[in-house]
């Protein structure tokens, strides 16, 4: 990580907090007919994004959660706040730690949803502790591998929905300005090991930089999948990766007890409601966002 990259990341956080007022999401034409999915929907940015979508009056909201009881409680709160019909929200099980769960969720989407207008793949992890998930380092697996597994499984449904309804479908993956601070040593070319195998090596893993690196990999993959998907001629779809900036949430639980972190969070963090506006903007944005990193509701090049 260069000094320039670190300064850029800090500038993004400070500038977003002090000088940017984010627009509140507004409903577009026909949103009452549209169907959206939010993963990790029972808390933090996922809950606030779900709240925005319900307030806008979406036809159907699928809340993907690891624990159904927590999801149902979150649904109850959203209905109480927005006054929407309980039938507009469904809570489905989804564990991004499990490929079987991701596949079962995607199969249910294909079988049960008449249309799919947007997916907010919000579920993610941030940890400096080494552990395995489906044989891979957990941050790499949840934030990158399982997220794009879900994308690829849902892509045919997204294309079919867009062709049939005329409403292009979007797949949105939250990002972070921390990608600028990602350590690149583990990405250096190696004749013997693939990048994934190197990142799965506990002995050499740089876990302090694993979350930023996972977000850099998300950005690389979003750009590549957007380019390849657009070239197939099988139907249009949008995949983008907006940065909600530093927000008050449960993501950084390992730092929550740090006095310095608490001070920085109090002064510089956006509320989860503010950060979720950026994510919902990505769900409603146009084709100019395909393959793009977004910050403060704008494409950033």
Residues taking part in catalysis? 211, 215
Contacts of 256 (CB under 8 A, 6+ apart): 262
Distance CA 117, CA 236 (A): 12
CA distances to 110, 147, 180, 286, 287 from 22, in Å: 34, 26, 22, 18, 21
DSSP state of 135: T
* DSSP symbols for 213-282: HHHHHHHHHHHHHHHHHHTS-S---EEEEEE--SBSSSTTGGGTT-HHHHHHHHHHPBPHHHHHHHHHHH
Classified as helix, coil or strand, 159 is helix
How far apart (Å, rounded) are the C-alpha atoms in residues 282 and 276? Answer: 10
- CA-based radius of gyration for the chain: 19
Helix or strand or coil: residue 208? helix
């Amino acid at each position: 990580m260069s000094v320039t990259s670190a300064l850029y990341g800090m500038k993004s956080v400070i500038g977003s907090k002090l000088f940017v007022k984010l627009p509140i999401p507004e409903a577009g034409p026909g949103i009452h007919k549209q169907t959206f999915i939010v993963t990790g929907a029972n808390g933090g940015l996922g809950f606030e994004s779900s709240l925005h979508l319900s307030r806008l009056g979406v036809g159907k909201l699928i809340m993907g959660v690891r624990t159904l009881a927590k999801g149902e409680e979150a649904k109850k709160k959203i209905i109480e706040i927005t006054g929407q019909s309980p039938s507009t929200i469904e809570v489905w099980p989804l564990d991004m730690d499990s490929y079987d769960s991701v596949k079962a969720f995607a199969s249910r989407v294909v079988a049960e949803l008449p249309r799919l207008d947007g997916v907010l793949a919000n579920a993610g992890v941030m940890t400096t502790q080494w552990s395995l998930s489906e044989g891979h380092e957990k941050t790499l697996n949840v934030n990158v591998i399982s997220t794009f597994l879900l994308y690829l499984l849902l892509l045919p449904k997204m294309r079919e929905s867009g062709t049939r309804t005329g409403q292009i479908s979007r797949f949105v993956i939250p990002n972070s300005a921390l990608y600028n601070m990602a350590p690149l040593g583990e990405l250096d070319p190696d004749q013997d090991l693939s990048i994934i195998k190197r990142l799965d090596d506990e002995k050499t893993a740089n876990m302090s930089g694993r979350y930023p690196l996972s977000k850099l990999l998300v950005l690389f993959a979003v750009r590549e999948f957007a380019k390849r998907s657009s070239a197939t001629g099988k139907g249009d779809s949008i995949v983008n990766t907006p940065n909600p900036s530093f927000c008050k949430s449960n993501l950084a639980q390992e730092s929550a007890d740090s006095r310095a972190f608490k001070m920085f969070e109090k002064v510089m963090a956006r509320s989860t409601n503010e950060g979720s506006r950026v994510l919902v903007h990505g769900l409603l944005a146009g084709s100019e966002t395909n393959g793009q990193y977004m910050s403060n509701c704008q494409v950033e090049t």
